[in-house]
Structure 1
Amino acid sequence: MSKDQAAVATVDQTRRQLLLAGVGTAGAAAFPAWAAEYPERPITFICPWPAGGTADQTMRALCVAAAKVLGQSIVVENRVGASGMLGAKAMASAKADGYTIGQIPISVTRFSQLGTIAPDPLKDFTYLARTSGQVFGIAVQANAPWKTLNEFVAHAKANPGAVTYAHAGVGGATHVGMEEFALAASAQFRHIPFKGGAEALQALIGGHVDALADSSSWAPHVESGKLRLLATWGETRVPRFKDAPTLKDAGYNVVVDAPNGIGAPKGLDPAITKKLRDAFRIAVASPEFKSACDKIDAPVLYLDGPDYEKYVMTMMQREKLLIERLKLKELIKS
């Protein structure tokens, strides 16, 4: 080897060492050489809800958009059960290498304080993005005797515990939201839990329950005239169903939107975390995701990972008060 070749080899070796040490260029500092190759294979995305449900639809659209940014496919795996906690626990327990990520149900802030088996929001997740909210509502069959929410409430008051409603799982947003509404209305309903919104919807359509408390799985059936929407649970009316009042419109100070979020196991490398945060930030703004949200009237409620984590911590305090107010520990045991 000539002196010139030896000099070039020495310079190249020095550059490689600087890059690996993370003290070369700004880009190298942000993305160590080994992390710069991520992802090298498909990523598994755990959705804790049944395939075909509203949350599943938006998460799949989001994963398609994020996959384009990352240059690898994102495979959605549905892990259903325990009101979303089985999937959340599976994701939190996975290896923190960036190849298993998933949806974090905001109800984890409730279950973690109820003494049930659930991940710990303070210890078990790396937060990547809050994505969108959900439109919840109370629907009944079109031939039901109640044409308005007030008629529905009046009947429940006159017949305590006789009116049944289906929901997507004990302790989940639809169950707790309905019980919060019942408390505000001084009414008593009998809840019938299912494994997800799709099953709960079929229970109403089949005439097995009197009402359904769910995210907008009811929407196409309301539009077709099969179901009647008595109220929605957001801050404002849903444009597509502007004749349906919010619970607040009807005089009940209850708002439930249960935003979806994306996370990974705790301990994820910061360089990989940044890649995923960037990918999902772009994915949330994509036409694919916006279209999926529009189909179910879901508002986009994006927050970057650090702000999303702060939001979750705030929700922990809110849920603590809600658990006490609704006596949820006793309700879940009953």
Structure 2
Amino acid sequence: MKKNARLNRRAALAAGAGLLFAPAIQAQPRFPNRPVRMIVPFAPGGGTDLQMRALCEAASRRLGQPVVIENRSGSGAILGALALVNDRTPDGHLLSQMPSNVFSYPLTVRNAPYDPLTDFTWVMQMTGYVFGIAVKADSPFRTLGDLMEHAKANPGRVSYGTTSVGGVPHITMERIAERFGVELTNVPFRGGNETLTAVLSNTVTVMVGSGWNEFVRQGQMRALCHWGRQRLPSLPEVPTLRELGVDIVQTGAYGFAAPKGLPANALTALHEAFRDSLQDPGHLSVLAAADMQVEYLGPEEYAASVAQTMAQNRQVLGRLGLLAR
């Protein structure tokens, strides 16, 4: 009986200890416990900014805390990535939209300030731009084949405007040129408006990238192709690159990341809230207005896609002699 009494007393003490510790566990702050900051490395009012604002508004309702947009434009759209690297308290309350320049910049500079493969927690891929090749409406080039045939006969004399060196439009256009065995000349501009102006004023032959959709609808430009998976409902006459025999799908898909070392509970909460918000009617209406589609990837798939993009960029930039030495 004495032995049983001692066992019962130990069991009672253990249960009491559990009760003492239970309030401490329950008292841990939930995530998020204050507003979440989302850096958008572009100026207010642009397509990316509008999409991110619609998505963050929907996610705010699911997280129970505001997701506040902070616009930090300039420096090649890497200011959000730099902010994440410099965050010393990675608790999930600082995030950044991650554009494609994040993946090319560290390959082109010495002593890169970050490594996309190791310095971030990739939370979710969301959507992508409508990239393609467009010319002025009165251009003699009516198809991609016309353009490539002319380029083959005139090496280096076909110029195309992009918004950067080493960005998705530049890298993809060089992949297309390699496929056709032609030499093209990239002319980088500071933004999409400058690129459009250059094409409409005959400064360059072709515009490569995004932002031409409305000009095509208005009859000022002609799209030779776009790089998505399927034809656009608003421009059904524009073929995809795959339809033209080039097995490339490229939308410059983007998502958002958190600093390295994000706690698992924060990653789960952020991923679930933003994943569900992708289908929010307000967000879908913004995507539809820009001819964009949901291109969802979860954390593991997104990280794998980043690695694939880095490998592809390294190969093309190396061929062009643009890798940092």
Q: State the TM-score, normalizing by the size of structure 1.
A: 0.81
Q: Is it true that 1:232 corresponds to 2:226 in the alignment?
A: yes
CA distance in structure 1 between the aligned counterparts of 2:305 and 2:198, rounded to whole angstroms? 34
Match of 2:95 among 98, 101, 108: 101
Q: Is it true that 1:180 corresponds to 2:175 in the alignment?
A: yes
CA distance in structure 2 between the aligned counterparts of 1:207 and 1:74, rounded to whole angstroms? 43
Structure 2 match to 1:159: 154
CA distance in structure 1 between the aligned counterparts of 2:20 and 2:305, rounded to whole angstroms? 41
CA distance in structure 1 between the aligned counterparts of 2:323 and 2:136, rounded to whole angstroms? 27
1:126 is paired with a residue whose SS is strand
Structure with greater Cα Rg: 2
Q: Is it true that 1:18 corresponds to 2:22 in the alignment?
A: yes
Question: How far does residue 331 in structure 1 lie from its aligned partner after superposition?
Answer: 4.1
Question: How far does residue 114 in structure 1 lie from its aligned partner after superposition?
Answer: 4.4
Structure 2 match to 1:4: none
Question: How far does residue 253 in structure 1 lie from its aligned partner after superposition?
Answer: 3.0
Q: Is it true that 1:269 corresponds to 2:263 in the alignment?
A: yes
The sequence identity of aligned pairs, in percent, is: 35
Structure 2 match to 1:79: 72
Query: Quick one: structure 1 residues 90 and 201, their matched pair in 2 at CA, closer, same or farther if it must change by over 3 Å?
Result: farther
Question: How far does residue 213 in structure 1 lie from its aligned partner after superposition?
Answer: 0.9
Structure 1 window deviating more from structure 2 (256-265 vs 300-309): it is: 300-309
Q: Is it true that 1:306 corresponds to 2:300 in the alignment?
A: yes
CA distance in structure 1 between the aligned counterparts of 2:73 and 2:16, rounded to whole angstroms? 51
Structure 2 match to 1:5: none
Query: Quick one: structure 1 residues 331 and 316, their matched pair in 2 at CA, closer, same or farther if it must change by over 3 Å?
Result: closer
CA distance in structure 1 between the aligned counterparts of 2:312 and 2:205, rounded to whole angstroms? 30
Long gaps (5+) in structure 1: 1-10, 22-27
CA distance in structure 2 between the aligned counterparts of 1:230 and 1:16, rounded to whole angstroms? 70
Long gaps (5+) in structure 2: 1-14
What is the CA deviation profile of residues 282-320 of structure 1, one whole-angstrom value per residue up to 9, with x for unaligned ones?
Answer: 211211221122122222121222332233234344444
Number of corresponding residues: 308
CA distance in structure 1 between the aligned counterparts of 2:36 and 2:191, rounded to whole angstroms? 25
CA distance in structure 2 between the aligned counterparts of 1:314 and 1:229, rounded to whole angstroms? 28
Q: State the TM-score, normalizing by the size of structure 2.
A: 0.83
Q: Is it true that 1:125 corresponds to 2:129 in the alignment?
A: no
Question: How far does residue 222 in structure 1 lie from its aligned partner after superposition?
Answer: 0.8
Match for 2:73: what amino acid? V
2:107/2:323 contact within 8 Å kept = no
Structure 2 match to 1:90: 83
Match for 1:295: what amino acid? A
**CA root-mean-square deviation:** 2.8
